[in-house]
């Protein structure tokens, strides 16, 4: 099943793009400037120490979730909800993004932020403006590349969460009750996945939040993280505020989505993809 989901996610990407992204240096460039206008609700995550990876409540772990290792994090804020279509359309309009969703990124050159040509895209371009399909304003934005997620985060005055920050927040931080999913051992209570989604995304914040009051960290859309992916990173990760490998070819995604079975929505489960990937089950949230 793990090979199946990775195959699905990468199926629409041209083979030539793989070589363009190979072994990029770690650099989180994006658009210039920023704005305080976008409405981001933040949850404060008090710093603490936790066990990261395949802890005892996690089931059917993959090798890259091991070994379990101790991580200590400083305090940070994370968005209460996944970034929505309405928020992302505001960003695209503010930066004067190209109508096809591409943009000349300050650090990465001409890259696609969002796949406007995909029939599943809920953001539209008409009359010189980006707008949201009727009834989809509060659905999580999807079809966004890592570059597009990173650029939005910077524009909004934040950044993408590290993989360790993401997992700590998903587990409930210092208030963690040790659940398999983010906020419950019953995924139907807290997340949209293949078993209950009806094969589509849902408005953010409709399920129960986790211990910190954060919504949808299990299911709805996969969430891009800051880190490069390395299947063996847990064997040599620093204990304090790990940032992930310094370079790589793939970025980390976490949390599962509306299209996958429950096991992919566990708080310890990891997948990865190349930064140019856009899919109808990938989105993000931001940190600061």
In tens, the pLDDT along 205-237 reads: 999 999 999 999 999 999 999 999 999 999 999
Note if the pTM is more than 0.85: yes
- pLDDT for 192-201, tens place per residue? 999 999 999 9
- What is the DSSP code string of 43-87? EEE--EEEEESS-TT--S--GGG-S-EEEEE--EEEESSPPBHHH
Residue ranges and CATH numbers for the domains of the chain are: 2-31+46-82+158-283 (3.90.1580.10)
pLDDT tens sequence across 48-81 = 999 999 999 999 999 999 999 999 999 999 999 9
């Amino acid at each position: 099943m793990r090979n199946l989901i990775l195959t699905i996610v990468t199926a629409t990407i041209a083979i030539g793009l793989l070589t363009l992204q190979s072994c990029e240096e770690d650099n989180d460039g994006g658009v210039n400037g920023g704005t305080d206008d976008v409405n981001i609700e933040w949850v404060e995550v008090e710093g603490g120490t936790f066990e990261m990876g395949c802890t005892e409540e996690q089931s059917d772990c993959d090798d890259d979730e091991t070994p379990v290792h101790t991580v200590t994090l400083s305090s940070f804020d994370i968005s209460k909800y996944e970034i929505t279509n309405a928020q992302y359309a505001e960003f695209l309009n503010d930066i004067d993004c190209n109508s096809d969703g591409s943009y000349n990124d300050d650090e990465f050159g001409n890259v696609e932020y969002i796949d406007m040509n995909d029939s599943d895209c809920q953001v539209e371009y008409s009359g010189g403006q980006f707008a949201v399909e009727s009834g989809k304003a509060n659905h999580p934005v999807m079809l966004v590349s890592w570059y597009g997620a990173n650029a939005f985060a910077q524009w909004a005055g934040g950044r993408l969460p590290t993989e360790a920050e993401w997992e700590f927040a998903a587990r409930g931080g210092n208030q963690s009750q040790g659940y398999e999913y983010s906020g419950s051992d019953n995924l139907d209570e807290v997340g949209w996945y293949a078993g209950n989604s009806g094969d589509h995304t849902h408005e953010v914040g409709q399920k129960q939040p986790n211990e910190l009051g954060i919504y949808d960290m299990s299911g709805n859309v996969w969430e891009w993280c800051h880190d490069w992916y390395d299947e063996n990173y847990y064997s040599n990760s620093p204990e304090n505020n790990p940032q992930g490998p310094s370079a790589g070819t793939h970025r980390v995604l976490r949390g599962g989505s509306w299209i996958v079975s429950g096991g992919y929505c566990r708080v310890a489960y990891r997948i990865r993809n190349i930064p140019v990937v856009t899919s109808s089950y990938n989105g993000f949230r931001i940190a600061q």
